Amino acid sequence: MGNCAPLLYTEKFTTMQNKIPIGILGATGMVGQRYIQLLEDHPWFEVAWLAASDRSSGKTYGEAAKWRLDTPLPERIARMTVAPAEPAGAPRVIFASIDAAIAREMEPKFAEAGCAVLSNSSAFRMAPNVPLVIPEVNAEHLHLIEEQPSRKASGGYMVTNPNCSTIGLVMALKPLAERFGLEQIFVSTMQAVSGAGYPGVASMDILDNVVPYIGGEEEKMEAETLKLLGKLDGHSVAPLAAGITAHCNRVPVVDGHTECVSIKLSRKATAEEILAAWAEYKPLAGMNLPFAPVQPVQFAAQPDRPQPRLDRNREKGMAVTVGRLRKCSLLDWKFVLLSHNTVRGAAGATILNAELLASLGKLETAAETAARA
């Protein structure tokens, strides 16, 4: 991130009283609800437009959504009318969390219409000219937006954040990859039901049970991890040349994905060096991004941590907790990691990407939109 020149952005917003209007595609879904919850009181952004399926369009948000979060649905949002999912009338910045099949058609339309589309959908994550970004990990991949035809035509572009189970893994791995090199990754997940949306996982499938299968998840984790840890190489990203295998499971937990990891490093590292790599990993320090955790990767020293119910809310759900660092008798090291799947792993990921883009001057404020028009 050394090449980012952060504005003192919070100052700008305070001074100008000028926020960036946000539109949400998929506003009634679980991640859509999290966007709304997390953007309430956001210092830079303001929810300005909500779109969902045709069934919801025209209703108030309060009527259209079955609000499932444990903070109240903000009054202002409840009264907003759900718009049709079309670029006409939408603001210049769109957060999208919709089914991949729909995203594949819809997101490019918004980008072509000039919008910055920040997507949690999987449709374009692996597209060569679409950046797949975690701000702490590979901010420099954002340069890929300049490779998108829409960027020149209308100014619009697409940026994606990874799958919920990928984010925690990559945040824990990046500091180690950087310092010691990374050759092999074994990961086995125990994922929360909120990752499947609402209604999502049937209670009959998960009470007193484990489902050792999540469609497409293992493939996503394996591919996304290597792209995220890869190098920007001219017009695309060369994925990290490491071996990776994922086992993905659903467990009866509401929020928080737990992952067991074994790794082989390129050069020997002691436990102390690994702990130091995690502790010192603060690539966004000084940028004043409101959602950036102060300590992105936190080590829990107790032998039985991290645990989803106890650790998922660290730094408002934006930190990843690691623990149980110990020797692996097959590879080099093994450890456990935990991250909040709908905050750090979805809605918060999009928001932090947006904050990074805003600090780079790549998102339009209401005033700028008005001036341009």
- Site string (55-84) toward a copy of itself, x via CB under 8 A: -------------xxxxx------------
313 contacts a copy of itself (rule: CB under 8 A): yes
Separation of alpha carbons 354 and 95, rounded Å: 9
Among residues 42, 141, 257, 340, the one annotated as catalytic is: 257
Q: Of 107 and 332, which has the nearer Cβ to a copy of itself?
A: 332
Q: How far is CA 126 from CA 129, 228, 303, in A?
A: 9, 10, 37
| Dihedral sign (CA 285, 226, 164, 364) | positive
Concatenated DSSP letters for 287-330?
Answer: S--TT--SSSEEEE-STT---HHHHTTGGGGTSEEEEEEEE-SS
4 contacts a copy of itself (rule: CB under 8 A): no
How long, in residues, is the chain?
A: 373
Which 3 state secondary structure label does DSSP give 135? Answer: helix
State yes or no: is 115 an active-site residue: no
361 contacts a copy of itself (rule: CB under 8 A): no
Candidates 100, 276, 331, 360: give the one binding a copy of itself (CB under 8 A).
Answer: 331
Q: Of 181 and 243, which has the nearer Cβ to a copy of itself?
A: 243
Q: Of 112 and 198, which has the nearer Cβ to a copy of itself?
A: 198
Candidates 46, 112, 178, 205: give the one binding a copy of itself (CB under 8 A).
Answer: 205
Which 3 state secondary structure label does DSSP give 2? Answer: coil
**CB of residue 171 vs a copy of itself: minimum separation in angstroms?**
17
**CB of residue 20 vs a copy of itself: minimum separation in angstroms?**
30
145 contacts a copy of itself (rule: CB under 8 A): no
Q: Of 89 and 216, which has the nearer Cβ to a copy of itself?
A: 216
Separation of alpha carbons 347 and 165, rounded Å: 13
- Site string (336-355) toward a copy of itself, x via CB under 8 A: x-------------------
What one-letter code names the amino acid at 43?
P
Tokens of 65: 């959504």
Q: Which helix (H) or strand (E) holds 175?
A: helix 164-180
201 contacts a copy of itself (rule: CB under 8 A): yes
Candidates 43, 89, 149, 199: give the one binding a copy of itself (CB under 8 A).
Answer: 199
263 contacts a copy of itself (rule: CB under 8 A): no
Among residues 42, 115, 141, 164, the one annotated as catalytic is: 164
14 contacts a copy of itself (rule: CB under 8 A): no
Count of residues that interact with a copy of itself, criterion CB under 8 A:
63
State yes or no: is 42 an active-site residue: no
| Dihedral sign (CA 215, 185, 354, 231) | negative
Contacts 24+ apart (CB under 8 A), 67-71: 67/33, 68/30, 68/33, 68/198, 69/33, 69/34, 69/37, 71/37
Separation of alpha carbons 21 and 91, rounded Å: 6
Q: Of 115 and 171, which has the nearer Cβ to a copy of itself?
A: 171
124 touches 107 (CB < 8 A): yes
Q: Of 41 and 70, which has the nearer Cβ to a copy of itself?
A: 70
Tokens of 126: 């692996």
Residue 231 phi, psi (nearest 5): -110, 135
**CB of residue 22 vs a copy of itself: minimum separation in angstroms?**
25
186 contacts a copy of itself (rule: CB under 8 A): yes
Cis before 72? omega within 30? no
334 contacts a copy of itself (rule: CB under 8 A): yes
Placement of tokens 């008005």 in the chain: 370
**CB of residue 112 vs a copy of itself: minimum separation in angstroms?**
35
Binders of a copy of itself among 222-251, rule CB under 8 A? Answer: 222, 243-245, 247, 249, 251
Which residues belong to the active site?
164, 257
Q: Site residues (CB under 8 A) for a copy of itself?
A: 30, 68-72, 184-186, 188, 190, 193-194, 198-213, 215, 222, 243-245, 247, 249, 251-254, 258, 260, 262, 303-314, 323-324, 328-331, 334, 336
